[in-house]
Structure 1
Amino acid sequence: MSGSSGEVQLEVTDGVAVVTLNAPERRNALTPAMAAELIATFDEVDGRDDVGALVVQAVGKSFCAGGDVQTLTDAGRDPAAPEAYAGMGAIYDSFYRLGQVRVPTIAAVRGSAVGAGMNMLLAADLRIVARDARLICGFLKRGIHPGGGHFVLLSRLIGREAAAAMALFGEELDGEAAVRLGLAWETHDDDAVEGRARELAARVARDPALARLAVGNFRKETGPPGVSWEIATQFERPAQMWSMRRPTD
C-alpha cells in the first residue's frame, strides 16, 4: 500500500487475506494513523473479487492494547476538539469497518486484547484465541467510559451477565473461559492459533462469491440485539468524551 507505515500488513494467499497489526513496540495500540491504514486495507480487500475470507492477527506479545496512550491523553484535554474528535473517530471506524468487510472474518488472538483491542476482535465473525490470552475490557480501569459500541459487541456474544462482569466489574478471560462463555470458537497453544484461523478461513475462501453473499445474510440475521451497533457507538460517544475530559490522577 502506498503511503503505508508498515504498521498494517496485507498478504493474500489462495483467497485468504491476512491483515497483520505490526506495531509491537506499543503492543499494537491503535493510533489514528494506524486506524486509517486498517480502514484502507479493508477497503483494498473489499475491492478484490478473489478474496473469500479475512484473518486479523498481530505481531508481538499483544493482539492490541487498545487506543494509543498519547492519543487518549491528547483527546482527554478536549475530546470535542476537531482533531481529537476525528482521531478517536478513526479508531472507532477501524473496527466498525472490520465488521463491514464483505467476506467472513476471523480474529486470531494471541497475548492481550484490551479496550479498543477487544472491540477489534469482537468485530470479527469468529475468534480463535490462545490458551494464555488475556481478554480485558479495561475502559473503566482507565477512568474512561467504553466506546465504539462495546456493550453491544460484547453482550451479543456472551450475554448480559458475563458482559457486566467484564465491562463493569473488571473480570478478564483467558482462552478456556472465552470458549466456555461463547466469546471464542476454539483455544489453542500460541503457535497454533494463526494456523488454525487460516485453516478455517481457507474453507470458505474457496468460493468467494458465495462467501460474500452468505456472510452478508448471516450478519443481518444474527446481528446485535437491542439497538444497532451504529446507534450504540453514537450513544456511548458523549459518555466517553465526558469521562476522558475529567481530571485524572
Structure 2
Amino acid sequence: MGQINLERKDGVALLTVDSVEVKNGLTPEMGRQLADFCEEIDADDSIGAAVVRGAGGTFCSGADRRRWQPGADQAEETTYKEAGQVYGAFMRVGALKVPTIAAVRGAAVGAGINLMLATDLRIVADNARIMSGFLRIGLHPGGGYFTISGRTAGREATAAMGLFSEEIDGRRAQEIGLAWRSLADDEVEDFAMELAKKPAKDPALAREAVRSFRTELGPPGIGWEAALQFERATQMWSQRRRNKS
C-alpha cells in the first residue's frame, strides 16, 4: 500500500514517498510513518538538513484515491482521524528542526502540493506539473493550503492555483517565487542534495538558523494550525456532496 523511506547521508535525511503504483498517493498510514520519521530526524543531532522527494520520478499525486470515501460522513470518527493523519504529516514536516528542501519531479498535485509547500525551499523539474487541483475535482482545499501557498507564492498565484485551478510547470514556479530553481528533471535530486549538504555540515547551527527563519518569516494571516482546522469543515462538506450531484 505504499510507504515512506528514510535514508541518512552526509548529515542529510532523505525522506522518500514511495507508492509508485498510484504516483505516490498518500495514505493515512504513510502520514503516520512520515510523522514518526520526522521524530527520528529531530532526535538525531547529527542531521542538519532534510530532503523530501517521491519515488519513480513523481513527487506526490495527492491522497491515495483507493482510500477515498466521497459522499460518506466525513465527521465519522475513523474517517476524520485518518484524514487528519495526512494533514498532520505536512505540519510535522514543516516543523522539522532542520532546514528542508522539496525535490519535485513529475506531479505535485492536491495533497502533494501541500507536502511541497511544507518545506523551506523547493527545487523543481522544468517539466513538473504543479497544481492544487482541489476545486477541479469538486473539493475544497485542505491542509491549510491557502496559508502555506500564500506565504511562498503570494496572493496572486495562490488565487490562480487555488481558486481558478491553474496548473504551472517548474519554470513558471521559479518565475513566481514558488521554487528557488527549475532544472532538467535528472538534475533536481542531485542539486537538492548538494544544497542540503551545506547546512548539514553544522547541524547545531542549521537547527538554530531555521528556527529563527521560521519564527521571523512564518505564515502570514492566521497560523497554519488554525488554517488547517478552519478549512477542515468545508472540505468535509465538499467530500460528502461530491457523489450526490
* TM range, smaller chain: over 0.9
What is the aligned counterpart of 1:238 among 210, 233, 236?
A: 233
- 1:216 aligns to what? 211
Query: After superposition, where does 1:95-110 map in structure 2 within 5 Å?
Result: 95-110=90-105
Code of the residue aligned with 2:152 in structure 1: it is: L
- The 3 A distance-change label for structure 1 pair 76 and 216 is farther
Is the 1:63–1:112 contact (alpha carbons within 8 Å) kept by the matching residues of 2?
yes
Query: After superposition, where does 1:19-168 map in structure 2 within 5 Å?
Result: 19-72=15-68, 74=69, 76-168=71-163
% same residue: 52
Is the 2:101–2:196 contact (alpha carbons within 8 Å) kept by the matching residues of 1?
yes
Code of the residue aligned with 1:123 in structure 2: it is: A
More displaced 10-residue stretch of structure 1: 84-93 or 239-248: 239-248
What is the aligned counterpart of 2:177 among 171, 177, 182?
A: 182
Q: State the distance in 2 between where 1:90 and 1:35 align.
A: 5
SS at match of 1:33: helix
Is the 2:49–2:98 contact (alpha carbons within 8 Å) kept by the matching residues of 1?
yes
Code of the residue aligned with 1:122 in structure 2: it is: L
Cα offset, 1:70, TM superposition: 2.6
- Gapped regions of structure 1 (runs ≥ 5): none
Number of residue pairs matched? 244
How large is the Cα RMSD of the aligned pairs?
Answer: 1.2
Q: State the distance in 2 between where 1:185 and 1:44 align.
A: 27
Cα offset, 1:62, TM superposition: 2.1
TM-score, scaled to structure 2: 0.97
Are 1:207 and 2:202 an aligned pair? yes
- The 3 A distance-change label for structure 1 pair 140 and 208 is same
Is the 1:29–1:68 contact (alpha carbons within 8 Å) kept by the matching residues of 2?
yes
SS at match of 2:187: helix
Cα offset, 1:61, TM superposition: 3.8
- Superimposed CA distance per residue, residues 92-143 of structure 1 (whole angstroms, 9 cap, x where no aligned partner): 0111100000000000000001111000000000000000000010011111
Q: State the distance in 2 between where 1:52 and 1:137 align.
A: 30
- The 3 A distance-change label for structure 1 pair 203 and 67 is same
TM-score, scaled to structure 1: 0.95
Code of the residue aligned with 2:195 in structure 1: it is: L
Code of the residue aligned with 2:96 in structure 1: it is: V
- The 3 A distance-change label for structure 1 pair 76 and 49 is farther
- Superimposed CA distance per residue, residues 41-92 of structure 1 (whole angstroms, 9 cap, x where no aligned partner): 11111110100000001112421011111322x2641100011001000010
Q: State the distance in 2 between where 1:36 and 1:184 align.
A: 27
